Amino acid sequence: MRTKTDMLDVTSRKLAPYVLLFGCYLISYGHLSPGGGFQGGVVLASGLILPALGCRPQRREDLLSNYALNIGEALGFVAFFLIGVAGIATAGYFLADPFSQSDSPHAWFIFILNLAIGLKVGAGIGLLSLLLIRESLEDEDG
């Protein structure tokens, strides 16, 4: 039986918060610099995959819950959809900024859209990878 060493366990758990922080940075600066919802979301997901691969199995179950990720993914989708429909209701077309007076949307509107996309992508890719990892690690962990 292959076991995870202490070093791998500790490193992955200590490194993951910084990866998640970098993901949040990419999402929240998407309207000013290269980055945005999808890229930041993928980095968030890699912050979830890192402890899933490195930690001991029982710790992995404690740290990451499928239920929370499921809720996060659904919330992201619903938020994006509601913002889009709010555009139809106020300005007449999908994804219009409801509060903008001119043609171009506000920067904070793009920021909110990026948050919704980041939540959806991060939770979605994280969930997908976690399911695949669990499926393939079941034999190994017993």
Residue 136 binds to another protein (criterion: CB under 8 A): yes
Q: Which is nearer to another protein, 95 or 112 (CB)?
A: 95
Contact yes or no for 114/104 (Cβ under 8 A): no
Calpha distance 45→39 (Å, rounded): 10
- Using CB under 8 A as the binding rule, whether residue 128 contacts another protein is answered as yes
- Smallest distance from another protein to CB 125, Å: 7
Per the CB < 8 A criterion, the answer to whether 91 and 34 are in contact is no
Nearer residue to another protein within complex by CB, 82 or 132: 132
- What is the rounded end-to-end Cα distance, in angstroms, of the chain? 9
Contacting residues toward another protein, per CB under 8 A: 32-34, 38, 92-96, 125, 128, 132, 135-136
